[in-house]
Amino acid sequence: MSFLSNPSEGRTWGRYDCRVPGCGAEIASKSGLTQHTNRVHRRIIRSRRFHQPAPASVPSSVPPPPVQHHSQSLPVRQPPQDPQDHSPPRTSSPPSFDFFLPYKCPPITFSSASKCNVHGEYVSPSSQPDLPPPRSPSDWFPFNNQVEFETADLLYRRVQMSATHIDALLAVWGASLTKEDGSELPPPFLDHDKMYKAIDKIEHCDVAWETFNVSYQGPRPSQNIPTWMDGKYDVWFRDPREVIKNILSRPDMKDDIDLTPYRDYDEAGVRQYENMFSGDWAWDQATRISEDPSTHGATFVPFIMGSDKTTVSVATGATEYYPLYISPGNIHNTARRARRNAVALVGFLSVPKADESCADDPQFRHFRRQLYHTSLSTILQAFKPGMTQPEVVLFGDGHYRRVVWGVGPYIADYPEQVLLAGIVQGWCPRCLAFPDRLDDHALRRCQEHTEALIEEYHPGVLWSSYGIIANVVPFTNDFPRADIHELIAPDLLHQLIKGTFKDHLVEWVCRYLKSQHTRRDYKKIMADIDRRIAVAAPFAGLRRFPQGRGFKQWTGDDSKALMKVYLPAIENHVPDGMVRAVRAFLEFCYLVRRNTLTDTDITALQRALDSFHHHRESFRDFGVTLSLPRQHSLVHYIYLVQQFGAPNGLCSSITESKHIEAVKEPWRRSSRFNALGQMLTTNQRLDKLKAARVDFAARGMLNSSVLPRRLRMLQTLDAQDSSQDTQHAEPNTTNGLQVYEPVSCSVQATEEQEEPEVDGTTITAEVNLAAKSNTQRARDFDALAAEISVQNIRRLTRRFLYAQLHPDITRRTARSVRPQDLPNLPETLRVYDSAVSIYRAPSDLCGSGGLKRERIRSTPLWRNEAPRNDCAFVVTRPDVDGIFSMEVARILAFFSFRYEGCVYPCAVVHWYNWDGDERDENTGMYVVRPSMTASNSRHVEVVHVDSLVRGAHLLPVFGGQLIPKDMKCYHSLDSFEAFYVNRFADHHAYELA
């Protein structure tokens, strides 16, 4: 086999020889070799297959007759929700297209996700789904009524109440309820056992848990046999195919599924990458599948997998579990990230352990590796027949479709990527770059190349020259169209946020300062950096570090929060090149974490990566190693975006957040003795309750009006619970004057609570005052003037009202109007402590529709500490594009008044001026300064709340001065002369500023 490399495209070409004895065929491409093997030698067992292929089972479907192809030119293709509606009706054979796409895309034929009946016979695209007989709206089986269901859902799923407490609550409940005639009214359940039995009878998501065990069968020593060789290792799983089918059949998912791969272009012809089916990988897979006539009209459904060991108890023996998760690949990224139960737990892998004497035994290490791959292959065998012969599956829209399964990307951290790819620690699982020169141009790994090397070279040569562990057989070898080196997903959490930023850049800065200063000066500078981080002004959703960044228990959220405030904190303490290296990395990180990336974004990504690689050389002279696997992974991100779409839908933060509800919380609810079986039962019941709620909601049965008055709050609690699940946010539904308590995030870090999710997708941006005014604050203009120290507030408000009554004049003109011409104001007003901004930010923690709610505060007392007056972006020049269509202002007060029957919501703002038209060269952020009048007083004005866009976060330009030890975060906006407009506060701010 010979290979040629084109570095500009990162592709590999060559001549591929069929390795089946006696064949001798020469294939021009890798995909052609796979197709040749699958077609001609389908029954031949390859020597390195760990399992023999299962017999091919033909589903009960009618094979389609020959297909007639139709040509259609699509200059701009948007992903249709129902692709088959664009094809001519056909009742016996599926419609198919040859899509000729512009921009040098080759002609391609792929399946069209045609509708069929339960027997696999294709039906007209306009046919209605053959739905089962509707259940009665009063059919709450296995519950008697909504009260029973809501009670079980509240106590078991949301509150997670123990059995003892459930019995106590039900006893108190029963004693307090009486009928109208004075007789006792029984509670919804007599005890916890009755409630558990009702949950177990729910028919939805009833996929039973199964188990198999694996034992070592290799050579053994004659004496002193290690204990691990005699052990039996249990693997628990449930049928992953049935789990995926349950997700696909959910009515609430019907609008979040792509039925066919697509290539999305905007009006300017710029390609966009978002969900996995917008990338090249799904397109290429569907193309290969469509070459078999028996698959025409089928729907390609790849499954995404993820696994990661987690420790549930360190103090009691480091109890570890190895959960395995699965999700359909054609589910939209927002649905997967929003934790709408689109990611399901399907197994617990075994964690073999040995004593210290055997921990480094090569036989044990090999057994541990192969146990992992054997377990995955065994669990996924249910998919194998449907990877070549379509299987009939019900979708959430009520229609059946013929489905072809496929192994999709695998979400894993670097140590597990090494295990998956069967390579040596320190090497890249995607390319052949040497560990000490990882950023050199190198060929990408592929299964065929690895197999050829194993046949030709000694295992020692493979280990040292290629980083290949010869005796590891990846689980993907057992399935068609699967190459583990292609399927390793990008990992934003561990590779970028916790890896490159926290483990590398932050550590490199500390290492530089330590090498350049005495021990005393080093500690002094580090203390100042910590104080700079601590004095960052409060901001909606911003995690604060009152003691700085010096703590041990780092989480992914801690790293994300530190990224937002770190850049100004190190400025003037380290050379400009190091500051620019951090800036370039942050720009790369914020670009690649967008919900949708375009070819233009990819160009910006490459530019940011080149800048990072250039400026990080500043660290080389201070004992740092630049050849690091997690940091090296950045060079593959552009290719991975083009293959799999936006990486935020494949991040390990999705599976790690699933650990909480799938592993850690069920473990805490267990008796700690033989806990796994109890955890499986808990997960089964949780899935049943979630599925029952989806079913009842789809049937329109969850109506709060049917609940007794005392239980109507259950609907509100459920809405709050749903918003808490969305995007891993910690929601807060309080309004007006209610007190917001800090949320404990780690020993030193606190985070302001996020607002609940927002449904819908039509709102671009709007700002409204809080639901309730603060009756404890000023009730007239004189009292407000004294409260906020703006003595001319009445005159400013009259000018504001004049401008509102005369919309054709400008703000500047309104300032010159004579006082006697200004309208008179009412005597009373209402003052509010906050306003709520709703805007579209699909890349941030948001609702599944992409809308985010943010609270902008202006209150005289925040958390019983000090006043808080947030800043905001205010539109002042709507005719100008970009950031300079807005100005930054600090909100001194929110109030409203009524004039001639109309209510005017207002904000008293102190303006900031832009300091130049360019960003700061080191930090990449714009600088603003407080605006002052000729008399050196604050430039204050009253504006309409509608002119506000969203909150703005300002970070001080610290200069070379050290921060006083007694300075607090609420002193920040009053203590400095210049501020950076923090574009790294969140993704929406990054795009806005």
Helix (H, G, I), strand (E, B) or coil at 53: coil
Give 574-586 pLDDT, tens digit per residue.
999 999 999 999 9
pLDDT at res. 628: 92
**Co-location of 797 and 916 in the same domain:** yes
Q: What is the CA radius of gyration of the chain?
A: 31
The answer to the question of residue 384 being in a domain is yes
How many folded domains does the chain comprise?
Answer: 5
Whether 959 has a pLDDT exceeding 60, the answer reads yes
Strands 750-751 and 543-544: antiparallel
Min mean pLDDT across 273-277, 521-525, 550-554, 604-608 is at: 550-554
- Is the predicted pLDDT of residue 875 greater than 50, yes or no? yes
Listed range (237-241, 386-390, 839-843, 889-893) with the worst mean pLDDT: 839-843
Instruction: Please tell me the distance from the alpha carbon of residue 140 to that of residue 129, in angstroms, as a whole number.
Output: 24
Higher pLDDT, 26 or 581: 581
Q: How far is CA 302 from the centre of its chain?
A: 19
Q: Say if residue 861 is in the same domain as residue 916.
A: yes
What's the gap between Cα 829 and its chain centre?
43
Give residue-wise pLDDT tens across range 478-503: 999 999 999 999 999 999 999 999 99
Average pLDDT rounded to a whole number, residues 869-879: 92
pLDDT at 847: 63
What is the rounded average pLDDT of the residues 698-714? 62
pLDDT tens, 792-823? 999 999 999 998 998 887 777 777 788 888 88
- The pLDDT assigned to 616 comes to 93
Average pLDDT on 233-258 reads 92
What is the sign of the dihedral through the CA atoms of 833, 837, 838 and 840? negative
pLDDT of residue 23: 61
Same-domain status, 521 and 626: yes
Only one residue has tokens 């008044």, namely 897
Kindly give, in sequence order, each residue whose CB lies less than 8 Å from that of residue 205, ignoring residues fewer than 6 positions away. Answer: 246, 684, 687, 688, 690, 691
Q: What is the pLDDT of residue 756?
A: 56
Q: For residue 126, give the DSSP letter.
A: T
Q: Is residue 222 part of a domain?
A: no
When pLDDT is averaged across residues 646-665 and rounded to a whole number, the result is 89
Beta bridge pairs of residue 406: 302
- CA gap 788, 869 in Å, rounded: 10
66 domain-assigned: no
Of 314 and 249, the structure prediction assigns the larger pLDDT to 249
Task: Report which DSSP code applies to 582.
Answer: H
- Residues 594 and 646 sit within 8 Å (Cβ to Cβ): yes
Question: Averaged over 304-330, what is the pLDDT?
Answer: 82
482 and 498 assigned to the same domain: no
Whether residue 29 has pLDDT greater than 60:
no
Query: Looking at residue 620, what is its pLDDT?
Result: 86
Confidence of residue 177 (pLDDT cuts 50, 70, 90): low
Q: What is the mean pLDDT of residues 944-959?
A: 94
- Please, what is the angle between helix 637-644 and helix 280-290, to 10°? 50
> Is the pLDDT confidence value at 975 over 70?
yes
Q: Beta partners for 273?
A: 597
Same domain as 667, residue 604: no
Query: What pLDDT, on a 0 to 100 scale, did the predictor assign at position 18?
Result: 64
Strand segments, DSSP code E, in 124-241 are: 209-215, 232-238
Pairing mode, if any, of strands 96-100 and 69-73?
Answer: parallel
Q: Is the same domain home to 187 and 286?
A: no
**Residue that terminates a domain, selected from 29, 44, 59:** 44
- Pull the structure tokens for residue 944: 């309409």
Residues 37 and 150 in one domain: no
3-state secondary structure 185-219: CCCCCCCHHHHHHHHHCCCCCCCCEEEEEEECCCC
Cβ 110 vs Cβ 286: under 8 Å: yes
For residues 719-736, average pLDDT: 36
Same domain, 607 and 506: yes
Q: Could you tell me the residue range of the domain that residue 904 belongs to? A: 765-992
Q: Give residues with Cβ within 8 angstroms of 734, minimum separation 6.
A: 740
Q: What is the pTM of this model?
A: 0.82
Would residue 572 count as lying in a domain? yes
Q: Which of 598-602, 693-697, 757-761 has the lowest mean pLDDT?
A: 757-761
Q: Are residues 658 and 593 in the same domain?
A: no
**Range from 1-5, 17-21, 389-393, 467-471 carrying the lowest mean pLDDT:** 1-5
> For the residues of 256-267, what is the DSSP string, one character each?
GB-SS---EE-T
Q: Give a yes or no: residue 837 inside a domain.
A: yes
| Assigned domain for 460 exists | no
Percent of the chain with pLDDT over 90: 52
d(CA 325, CA 203): 22
Q: Which residue has the higher pLDDT, 145 or 111?
A: 145
For residues 374 and 609, the answer to whether their CB atoms sit within 8 Å is no
CA separation for the pair 796, 790 (Å, rounded): 10
pLDDT, tens digit, 9 for 90 and up, residues 429-459: 999 999 999 988 899 999 999 999 999 999 9
Report the C-alpha dihedral over residues 334, 340, 343, 348, rounded to 10 degrees: 150
Do 672 and 801 reside in the same domain of the chain? no
pLDDT for the residue 588: 97
Of 531, 528, 563, 529, which is closest to residue 971 (Cα–Cα)?
Answer: 531
CB 271 within 8 A of CB 265: yes
Give residue 200's pLDDT. Answer: 92
More confident residue, 166 or 719: 166
Least confident of 290-294, 629-633, 819-823: 819-823
Backbone angles phi, psi at 355, to 5 degrees: -70, 175
pLDDT for residue 545: 77
Cβ–Cβ < 8 Å for 770, 836 = yes
Question: Does some domain include residue 60?
Answer: no
d(CA 65, CA 122): 11
Helices (H), 616-674: 629-632, 637-644, 652-659, 665-669
DSSP H or E stretch at residue 164:
helix 163-176
Query: Scanning the structure block, which residue is given the tokens 């009373």?
Result: 828
Report which of 841, 838, 767 is spatially closest to residue 991, judged by C-alpha positions.
841
Whether 852 and 729 have beta carbons less than 8 Å apart is answered as no
Res 179: pLDDT: 58
pLDDT value at residue 727: 36
Identity of the amino acid at 744: S
Judge whether 94 and 296 are in contact, CB under 8 Å: yes
Quick one: average pLDDT of 198-203? 92
- Local confidence band at 205 (pLDDT 50, 70, 90 cut-offs): confident
Contact at 8 Å (CB) between 207 and 249?
A: no
Q: Examine the domain organization and report whether 640 and 573 are in the same domain.
A: yes
Place of tokens 């359909």: 328
* Percent helix / strand / coil, the chain, rounded to 5: 40, 20, 40
Task: Please give the pLDDT value at position 957.
Answer: 96
In what helix (H) or strand (E) does residue 597 lie, and over which residues does it extend? strand 597-598
Asked if 877 and 980 sit in the same domain, the reply is yes
41-45, 576-580, 631-635, 951-955: least confident range: 41-45
**Average of per-residue pLDDT across 210-231:** 87
Answer yes or no: is 186 within a domain. yes
- State the average pLDDT for the chain: 81
Structure token pair of residue 351: 């964690």
Residue ranges with strand state E in 314-466: 319-328, 344-349, 391-394, 400-411
